[in-house]
């Protein structure tokens, strides 16, 4: 009999990787639909870049929340394991994103624009919240049974 934790890790890896690839695809699509224009001056290029970065950050957090919710719904033998699956999914998603960013742009660029601890903190908080929403009925039923 396999333990619940091997299934938790497997599901978190699957949903984290799927979530990141969906995010990367949507990001690429956004840059293809709204690219820099040859006639853009420096201000317009900066505004367009800022709009893309804000959109990617918001879209990434929304996608992370959806992936955490779905992962918690898929693997919930108990409500605690469901929430744990959501949190591990979010951590996997963010670690893949950080590794890809470091490979593409380097460590100095990452330090300039990002903070790993705050990124993980917000990711874990969102994943816990949406993971708990996913298993709320089960949590309520287990608490009534006790």
Question: What residue ranges do the domains of the chain occupy?
Answer: 4-145
Q: Per residue in 63-88, pLDDT tens?
A: 999 999 999 999 888 899 999 999 99
Least Cα distance to 127 among 97, 105, 94 occurs for 94
pTM score: 0.89
pLDDT number for residue 2: 67
pLDDT, tens digit (0-9, with 9 covering 90-100), for 111-139? 887 888 999 999 999 999 999 999 999 99
Closest among 5, 3, 1, 2 to 88, alpha carbons compared = 5
- The Cα 57–Cα 53 span in angstroms is 6
- Distance in angstroms (rounded) separating the CA atoms of residues 55 and 47: 12
Alpha-carbon distance of 51 to 45, in angstroms, equals 10
């Amino acid at each position: 009999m396999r333990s619940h934790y091997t299934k938790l890790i497997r599901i978190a890896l699957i949903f984290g990787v799927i979530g990141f690839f969906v995010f990367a695809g949507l990001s690429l699509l956004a840059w293809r639909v709204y690219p820099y224009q040859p006639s853009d001056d420096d201000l317009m290029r900066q505004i367009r870049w800022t709009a893309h970065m804000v959109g990617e950050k918001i879209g990434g957090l929304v996608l992370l929340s959806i992936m955490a919710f779905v992962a918690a719904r898929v693997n919930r033998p108990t409500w605690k394991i469901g929430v744990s699956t959501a949190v591990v999914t979010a951590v996997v998603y963010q670690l893949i994103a950080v590794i890809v960013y470091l490979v593409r742009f380097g460590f100095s660029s990452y330090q300039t624009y990002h903070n790993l601890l705050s990124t993980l903190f917000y990711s874990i908080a969102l994943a816990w919240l949406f993971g708990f929403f996913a298993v709320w009925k089960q949590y309520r039923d287990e608490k009534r049974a006790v």
